[in-house]
Amino acid sequence: MASTLAATLSIGSTLSFGHKSGSLAQPKPVGVRLTSHASLASFSGLKATTSSVSCEAGSSFLGKESGVALQRSVANKAQKQSQRLQYHLQPRASFKVAILGAAGGIGQPLSLLIKMSPLVSALHLYDIANVKGVAADLSHCNTPSQVLDFTGASELPNSLKGVNVVVIPAGASRKPGMTRDDLFNINANIVMNSVEAIADNCPDAFIHIISNPVNSTVPIAAEVLKQKGVYDPKKLFGVTTLDVVRANTFVAQKKNLKLIDVDVPVIGGHAGIMILPLLSKTRPSVSFTDEEVEELTVRIQNAGTEVVEAKAGAGSATLSMAYAAARFVESSLRALDGDGDVYECSFVQSDLTELPFFASRVKLGRKGIEALIPSDLQGLTEYEQKALDVLKPELKASIEKGIAFAQKRAVAA
């Protein structure tokens, strides 16, 4: 059995943060803790093991029950077969997730990561390109969820029926020299059509928008849902998790901290200077020189371009984006499953500033956003306050561009 468990993978991350009496407590790692004879250094994310495995499970992709089942299967060969069958055949919860754009650079690794979740019973893969091969490939993974493929516009409605969470990475990615706004015209139409179908087929689903420019595509989605009479601002999210993931990584590297402990809230929007990491709110508390603040802020803001340039024409961030999006899906599923301690940053309808949409930390619950967390915006440093003042007009323009696009198309229709 040990050999069949070689390179067992599980996922965990600092997804959840204790929130006590209006102030955020220290980040609480909730990932599965794996111990092995030759375990790799732990980090916030995938943990690979190269030898036999025992699990002390928290919650995450391999949740508590799944982790315990896995542990037993290692310990007792006689019971192994039935327990493994039970684990593999019965997801811990039965949520359905649809990915629109599942054949793409983000869609494929994202599908794989979600296939590993014990909270998912069905994974619907939709793309205008043929997604059958991706689905066939994934369906051989012996994790509980069933994988179904849907190709082309005629199959879009069926891909959405009964779904709890829809993730949208459909669209074109940024090429060198392109800004996120260059993508606007291509992706605005794709998001609009996708959200129209969501409104008609699964209006209660959580909607996670990855397609850029998120600052505009989220307001577009809101307009479409309003036009359809099914807008619930608590369930519409722009996925900015990659900004948080990058901020956590870069800060941990710079300050030599354990990755799993680091939490940096990132607010504002999701492009260039509109991405504002609040380094003064880093947990655990850590001090930065002015030079470090400037260097880290600029690196976090330009991290997407770092990847676009390194890929030299082959697209933008896909693997780290898939990781970040999977974390956000997992957080949403845990909230839907009744976990009362789930916090993430996301670009959402907001009243924390004068802007109608704004990225901040939010508390997730069964019905979507339970609360926006204002405390991160209080007591900003002079640098952060200035950066916030500077980003607002640009973010306002991106939001208005999205709203105007959706309203114009509605009038034309």
Ligand X SMILES: NC(=O)c1ccc[n+]([C@@H]2O[C@H](COP(=O)([O-])OP(=O)(O)OC[C@H]3O[C@@H](n4cnc5c(N)ncnc54)[C@H](O)[C@@H]3O)[C@@H](O)[C@H]2O)c1
What residues are annotated to the active site?
A: 270
- Asked if residue 275 binds ligand X (CB under 6 A), the reply is no
CB 364 within 8 A of CB 335: yes
If binding means CB under 6 A, how many residues of this protein chain bind ligand X? 32
- Asked if residue 174 binds ligand X (CB under 6 A), the reply is yes
| DSSP symbol at 172 | P
- CA pseudo-torsion sign 340, 218, 246, 274: negative
- Asked if residue 373 binds ligand X (CB under 6 A), the reply is no
Alpha carbon 118 to its chain's center: 17
Q: Which of 46, 93, 128, 403 binds ligand X (CB under 6 A)?
A: 128
Bin 95: left if φ > 0, else alpha if -120 < ψ < 50, else beta: beta
- Asked if residue 286 binds ligand X (CB under 6 A), the reply is no
Q: What backbone phi and psi angles, to 5 degrees, belong to 76?
A: -125, 100
Give the footprint of ligand X on residues 215-274 (CB under 6 A). 239, 242, 270
**Piece of the chain touching ligand X by CB under 6 A; list 111-119, 208-216, 226-234, 280-288:** 208-216
- Asked if residue 111 binds ligand X (CB under 6 A), the reply is no
Q: Which of 8, 16, 211, 350 binds ligand X (CB under 6 A)?
A: 211
Q: Cβ 102 to ligand X, closest distance in Å?
A: 7
Q: HSE of 213 in the Cβ direction (CA atoms, 13 Å)? A: 26
Q: Cβ 301 to ligand X, closest distance in Å?
A: 12
CA distance 413 to 408: 9
CA distance 403 to 406: 5
**Piece of the chain touching ligand X by CB under 6 A; list 30-38, 205-213, 278-286, 350-358:** 205-213
Considering just the CA atoms, what is the radius of gyration of the chain in Å? 21
Q: Cβ 34 to ligand X, closest distance in Å?
A: 28
Q: Is the CB of 231 or the CB of 347 nearer to ligand X? A: 347
Q: Is the CB of 316 or the CB of 349 nearer to ligand X? A: 316
CA distance 49 to 8: 6
Q: Cβ 322 to ligand X, closest distance in Å?
A: 8
- Asked if residue 127 binds ligand X (CB under 6 A), the reply is yes
Neighbours of 289 (CB within 10 A): 8
41 burial level (CB within 10 Å; 0-12, 13-18, 19+): exposed
**Piece of the chain touching ligand X by CB under 6 A; list 25-33, 71-79, 98-106, 199-207:** 98-106
Q: Is the CB of 87 or the CB of 405 nearer to ligand X? A: 405
Query: 333 by DSSP, 3-state: which?
Result: helix
CA distance 350 to 385: 18
- Asked if residue 101 binds ligand X (CB under 6 A), the reply is yes
CB 17 within 8 A of CB 29: no
**Piece of the chain touching ligand X by CB under 6 A; list 6-14, 54-62, 67-75, 206-214:** 206-214
CA distance 231 to 233: 6
- Asked if residue 112 binds ligand X (CB under 6 A), the reply is no
Q: Cβ 238 to ligand X, closest distance in Å?
A: 7
Type of residue found at 224: V
Q: Which residue has the tokens 């409605």?
A: 157
Task: Give the x/- contact pattern for ligand X in 309-338, rule: CB under 6 A.
Answer: ------xxxx--x-----------------
Q: Which of 173, 282, 301, 360 binds ligand X (CB under 6 A)?
A: 173
Footprint of ligand X on this chain (CB under 6 A)?
A: 100-101, 103-107, 127-129, 169-174, 183, 187, 190, 193, 210-212, 214, 239, 242, 270, 315-318, 321
